[in-house]
Amino acid sequence: MTKSSLHLLKGTGYLISTVSVILLATVSWDSASKSPLLTACLLGGAATSIIGMFCRWLSYEIEKRQEERRESQQAR
């Protein structure tokens, strides 16, 4: 696999994980909405999971761009 296809695969994996979190939170909402504490935990857990996946994806994006810059500088 090329670096570009690996990067795309990582991004796709994080997108799938985000959709999964949203689906699981949706299924849990009926029960969690009966208690303010459970509602806060559900929303907080879903949000932190999605934010964490975004941070990991962003770190890969930054690394990829830095690597591309280094390769272009070495080619000069």
Task: Give percent of the chain with pLDDT exceeding 70.
Answer: 100
Specify whether the CB–CB gap between 18 and 46 falls below 8 A. Answer: no
Task: Give pLDDT, residue 43.
Answer: 96
pTM equals 0.81
Residue 6 has pLDDT above 90, yes or no: no
CA 42/CA 22 separation, integer angstroms: 10
CA 61/CA 68 separation, integer angstroms: 11
For residue 32, give the nearest of 45, 19, 49, 17 by alpha carbon. 45
